[in-house]
Structure 1
Amino acid sequence: MPLVLGIESSCDETGVGLVRDGVLLGDALASSVDEHARFGGVVPEIAARAHLEALVPMMKRAVSAAGVSLSDVDAVAVTAGPGLASALNVGLAAGKAYATSLGVPLYGVHHLAGHAAADVLGHGPLPSPCVVLIVSGGHTSLLLVEDLVRRPIRHIGDTADDAAGEAFDKVARLLGLPYPGGPAIGRIAEQGDPAAIAFPRAKVGDFGFSFSGLKTAVARWVERHDGPVPVADVAASFQEAVADVLTARAVAACRAHGVTTLVVVGGVAANGRLRDLAAKRCREAGIELRIPPPRLCTDNGAMIAAVGDLLVAAGAEPSRPDLSADPSAVLTHAQLGGPILVDHA
């Protein structure tokens, strides 16, 4: 079976992974999050420089962990979008270089398709159809997926403004918590009361999301509060509002489309309260819930290799040699810069 090398560099993680026939053989990940912490968010040029410094060491570490050599690689998959332009270009240049030097095909991959494919590594092929909830720092979407690489990906609902992860970062900053906000809020929320404050749950259509108003509601509550702010209660109440909206919409989407499997992926999918509430609501609705292990929820090279593995198995044509980064790529197909697979079944 072909061995696929995956490279991820869309934001502040430099990831390399090696996948063969749906099995993760080895991966490595470097994060530049500490370098961005004092700025309260990712600085693109700092991220790009960190990718330059980390990519070769991560490549060596992943290859060693997999027990293979680079000469064993049969195809290279690389994130081509969306993401930070300067960061994407580092990974894309590396992917082209490795593919050219090894004489193997290159596949440009949509970053969000990678998140969906991460679950394949933990639980096997995605059921067809399934609803995929992607929740990350830059994206919050509900997708109807029939075949991740052979058929168009249909958006059931998207966020109208802030993504869930972005809202976590902004609220953490309001509360004086460190960046990144998701883990910080998750930790302190364990000490708080999720019912202490009734923060709003915005509704956008049947399955859409909006977190900007929730963020503003938290800010206004903190401004009006007399005395020391009960940070743990605010964090727990905010986290509950996010988890409530995400899981309620996702379960409703499954019911509306007659789907019996919900897949939750992306960095926010590592949040303990979201995982627990999703499990409870799916159990009550008779829906199978699939969430990758926490380490595969954040950006990583393994998930990109997983998409490449699926593309190779499906007989997809490689991406064009002039493949370029697309920082604002909309997810309609898993592959970028190549012929679109058409499944006539």
Structure 2
Amino acid sequence: MIVVSGGVSLTTPSEPPPAATFAMPLTVALLAGVLAVSVLLAIGLGAAAVPPGETLRYLWAAVTGGTITAGDVTAYQIIWQVRTPRVLLAVLVGAGLSVVGVAIQAMVRNALADPYVLGVSSGASAGAVLVGVTGALTALGVYAVSAGAFLGALLVSALVYLASREAGGLTPLRLVLTGVAMAFGFQAVMSLIVYFVPDGESTSTVLFWSMGGFGAATWGALPVVAAAVAVTVVVLRRLGRSLDVLALGDETSASLGVDTVRLRRGLFVLTSLATGAMVAVSGAIGFVGLVLPHLVRLWTGAAHVRVLTIAPLAGAIFMVWADLVARTLVAPRELPLGVITALVGVPVFVVLLRRRGYLLGGR
């Protein structure tokens, strides 16, 4: 047990809660099962509901190259071409935002940090809107807007890095302040675009990229996001012990042999690329990367290896159901996904604040 300023006690990685230690394999198996069932139900549910048995039959036929009857073609196309890539994208983005949120909160030592605190989402949104309005990158076809979003995210990441860098490396406070400033700046760019191109299409594009959604999901969008999320999860889990030490402060980290400058730089690059890849296909979906890490810590304890094991599964499950609500609650219209995540995230975050005040800076 380590006691820091303000009388707050933190449990070190060598002192894990016994329940979390023994229940981890069972917890992972349970959440994996819940995720599999959630995916199956989400693929089948919608304006045209398909029973789970029929959904499994269509998925099996698609995977194995089986045959279906002529009367099943419409339902098969809805299941395989429309809903399956959408639900799988929700799984990937939910898992990715959760683990990136865990890493960024450790990197900047701020419980209010989330994947978008560095301004990446605003840069991606501005890039997507700019491409949509100007018609740039037309050679990329249907991927032009996503490519514009990713380039915008990279631009903001580079600007934040250059503006935050100092002789001692990247400091948490400078990273957060620079990211917030860049976010406001690129939001102003989006407002200017809408002001000078006041048509309904540009306005709806801004709404999508600022509130998020999976309505444009395709099979072609999945490989890049899957690779980005998989690499991020694997690398962050391997850095779990280092993240535990980093969360204790730079001086403590240095005394324990952790190169905070190099670690924070690597985390910045990794989380920026992963966030950019996700925002490029889903827009900015708030509160997932902010609230899920705290909920998982209540369950597993503070050690990052455990948190980064459970967070992807929990985030994926939450995102699948949030997307299902977004597309079915007022069907045939579709709610922006950010509305659903905010309606869930805000009250949960307030409850966490009142029950676990030390997580947000002490009682």
Give your verdict on TM over 0.5: no
TM-score, normalised by the number of residues in structure 1: 0.30
TM-score, normalised by the number of residues in structure 2: 0.29
- Choose between structure 1 and 2: higher helix proportion: 2
